[in-house]
Amino acid sequence: FLWGVGSSAYQTEGAWDKDGKGPSIWDAFTHVKGKVLRDETGDSACDGYHKVKDDIQLLKELKVNHYLLSISWARIMPTGIRTEQVNEKGIQFYNDTINGLLESSITPIVSLYHWDLPQVLQEKYGGWQNISMINYFNDYANLCFEKFGDRVKHWITFSDPWAVAEKGYETGEHAPGLKLGGCGAYNAAHHIIKTHAKVWHSYNNTWRSEQHGMVGISLTSGWGEPVDPHSQADIDAAERYIQFHLGWFANPIYRGDYPEAMKNYVGRKSAQQGLGTSRLPTFSVQEKSYIKGTSDFLGIGHFTTRYVTQKSSPFLQGSSYNTDHDLAELVDPKWPAPGYEWLYSVPWGFRRLLNFIKTQYGNPLIYVTQNGVSEKAPCAQLCDAWRIEYLQGHLNEMLKALNDGVNIKAYTAWSLLDKFEWNKGFSERFGLYYIDFQNKNKTRYPKASVDYYKNVIRANGFPDPREVEKWRQKAMDTCSITHQLLDTDSLITHMEMVTEIVLPTIFTLCILISIVLLLFFLQKHS
Ligand SMILES: *[C@@H]1O[C@H](CO)[C@@H](O)[C@H](O)[C@H]1NC(C)=O
Ligand SMILES: *[C@@H]1O[C@H](CO)[C@@H](O)[C@H](O)[C@H]1NC(C)=O
């Protein structure tokens, strides 16, 4: 079993315009006021671009088997178009990263797309709304296979394409910030699925025989549980919840077409609107067979669970992806939610999701690519007891799913560092390591969960409960020591401020007072 941690390019690298990198849609989006909380940007983020060695050191200390990272398309192809420009410095950067990992016996798992489309492709073609993305992305993927594929054996085409489609082109919360209600998400997803299939076939036809790697997709999905398990309407609504998230992408790839529930509901809503065809695009027969079976493994991201009930939305409300499925999501107020109130910790939902995948998609090989919890704390919170609890709960349920016969090969804790969290800026923290983003140094401080996760990895799971309790206790003790170190650090910063601001001020004041006294003295004696 493989244990690892993950991160993504835009969220951590910074250096947004260094060494020939082109702008991405996230650079453009964050540079517009009002798009991100407090107008924060990923311009420097964790400064990961300059801290590859430091971060590999952290990974070595954790003793992870793998590290999941993403490549910034615009860093190696500034306009996104291979025939226009390839940026050797960008290639060098990822070569150094990959080599550094391998020298430390850490397997790189590389995602080609974690949301940072080159801005030129957005401006010229409308990004994922345009079918031409298929070929541009395929060129990019082939360059990556050519340059890195001798060493990288695990490729992810897209990380969480659901968010790309829904938040990027439907609600506009994410870059490129388009609100193309009703069609935007479906069209983006349609092109992404076709692109994924094309890239898998490219690898299969051109690179596989020589490089012997795997190509998969990483889908992020919550679990939906019926509010009333005896109500068929609720059971169907909960099923739709999953099908509109996970099934939207997994069904075409594993079964050859969109889920029936999506085809039915979007089709019916479109007809009610008086549209001649469904807003959900269709695949031709050839496309279906071309797409089916194009994943050597399934990456799964999972964070939280919802109770789901049937709720018809009148079509007059305006049609959108978010009303097409006729359901309402509920939460149990008893579920812990340490961060923003979307991420409730519900470990049992994880096991159910994993079992659903096993039965729906023919027990595919699963790599858990994202699982973790955030916090909203504005200041240093190194003793993250709730993260330890979240990890323990979710790992336990994952291990139960393994016993259920689910074919899970790897677990990736999300994420290595506190990082730029999209439209939430730096206010939402997922890291095992804490970063003070105010400080230019971007020093990494271990939270208690680092110590805990290290033990999980060393033991390859959980031994007896008493031992695990000892890990928790020790992690909490260690964190309070680190906490003191962090306090001392901020004290040093504070003392620097004292010398920089207070001393000159006092000095100036003394001179002023002396002048006044001197004048006074002179006046008296004249
Ligand atoms: C795709 O891009 C081409 C070239 O710029 C353009 O002519 C076409 O209208 C675009 N299609 C969409 C759906 O935006
Ligand atoms: C930043 O890092 C440098 C070099 O490691 C160190 O000398 C300096 O004290 C640090 N500054 C702060 C404010 O942490």
- Give residue-wise pLDDT tens across range 188-223: 999 999 999 999 999 999 999 999 999 999 999 999
- Pairing mode, strands 444-446 and 433-435: antiparallel
- Closest by CA position to 433, among listed 417, 455, 419: 417
Q: What CA–CA distances, in Å, run from 299 to 203, 219, 296, 407, 410?
A: 17, 6, 10, 12, 9
SS (H, E, C) 373-441: CCECCCCCCCCCHHHHHHHHHHHHHHHHHHHCCCCEEEEEEECCECCCCHHHCCCCECCCEEECCCCCC
Examine residue 180 and state whether it is found in any structural domain, yes or no: yes
Taking the centre of ligand 1 as the mean of its atom positions, its distance from the CA of residue 205, in whole angstroms, is: 29
pLDDT in tens, 219-274: 999 999 999 999 999 999 999 999 999 999 999 999 999 999 999 999 999 998 89
- Closest by CA position to 388, among listed 283, 280, 307, 469: 469
pLDDT in tens, 352-380: 999 999 999 999 999 999 999 998 766 56
Q: Is the CB of 127 under 6 A from ligand 1?
A: no
Whether the per-residue pLDDT at 526 is higher than 70: the answer is: no
The ligand minimizing its distance to the Cα of 494 is 2
| pTM for the whole structure | 0.91
pLDDT reported for residue 92: 98
pLDDT reported for residue 500: 54
pLDDT in tens, 304-330: 999 999 998 776 567 899 999 999 999
For residue 256, give the 3-state DSSP assignment. coil
Taking the centre of ligand 1 as the mean of its atom positions, its distance from the CA of residue 125, in whole angstroms, is: 5
Shortest-distance Cα residue to atom 1 of ligand 2: 441
Examine residue 497 and state whether it is found in any structural domain, yes or no: no
Examine residue 460 and state whether it is found in any structural domain, yes or no: no
Question: Per-residue pLDDT averaged across 463-468, rounded?
Answer: 91
Shortest-distance Cα residue to atom 11 of ligand 2: 441
Shortest-distance Cα residue to atom 3 of ligand 1: 125
pLDDT in tens, 72-121: 999 999 999 999 999 999 999 999 999 999 999 999 999 999 999 999 99
Whether the per-residue pLDDT at 487 is higher than 70: the answer is: no
Examine residue 484 and state whether it is found in any structural domain, yes or no: no
Q: Residues near 504 by Cβ (< 8 Å), separated by ≥ 6?
A: none
pLDDT reported for residue 514: 81
pLDDT reported for residue 79: 98
Closest ligand 2 atom number to CA of residue 492? 13
Structural domain for 433, as ranges: 2-446
Average pLDDT value over all residues in the chain? 93
Q: Cβ(72)–Cβ(23) under 8 Å? A: no
Q: Cβ(413)–Cβ(424) under 8 Å? A: no
Question: Per-residue pLDDT averaged across 12-36, rounded?
Answer: 98
Examine residue 257 and state whether it is found in any structural domain, yes or no: yes
Shortest-distance Cα residue to atom 7 of ligand 2: 441
Confidence tier at 44 by pLDDT (50, 70, 90): very high
Q: Is the CB of 126 under 6 A from ligand 1?
A: yes
- Closest by CA position to 395, among listed 383, 418, 382, 413: 413
Examine residue 418 and state whether it is found in any structural domain, yes or no: yes
One DSSP character per residue, 430-471 reads --SEEE-TTSTT--EEE-HHHHHHHHHHHHTS---HHHHHHH
Q: What CA–CA distances, in Å, run from 215 to 8, 50, 299, 366, 422?
A: 18, 29, 10, 12, 26
- Quick one: CA torsion of 468, 474, 479, 482, rounded to 10 degrees? -140
Q: Is the CB of 488 under 6 A from ligand 2?
A: no
Q: Which of 130, 186, 190 to mutate to test the pocket of ligand 1 (most atoms within 8 A of CB)?
A: 130
Shortest-distance Cα residue to atom 5 of ligand 1: 125
The ligand minimizing its distance to the Cα of 128 is 1
- Closest by CA position to 400, among listed 457, 342, 461, 478: 461
Whether the per-residue pLDDT at 56 is higher than 80: the answer is: yes
Examine residue 501 and state whether it is found in any structural domain, yes or no: no
pLDDT reported for residue 519: 81
Percent of the chain's residues with pLDDT above 90? 84
The CATH number given to whatever domain includes residue 139 is 3.20.20.80
Q: Residues near 145 by Cβ (< 8 Å), separated by ≥ 6?
A: 155, 202, 203, 206, 207, 211
| Long-range own/partner contacts, residues 135-139 (CB < 8 A, 24 or more apart) | 135/198, 136/80, 136/81, 136/82, 137/112, 137/113, 137/195, 137/198, 137/199, 138/195, 138/198, 138/199, 138/202, 139/81, 139/82, 139/83
pLDDT reported for residue 213: 98
Examine residue 328 and state whether it is found in any structural domain, yes or no: yes
Q: Number of folded domains in the chain? A: 1
Position with higher pLDDT, 168 vs 520: 168
Shortest-distance Cα residue to atom 9 of ligand 1: 125
Q: Is the CB of 129 under 6 A from ligand 1?
A: yes
Taking the centre of ligand 1 as the mean of its atom positions, its distance from the CA of residue 364, in whole angstroms, is: 36
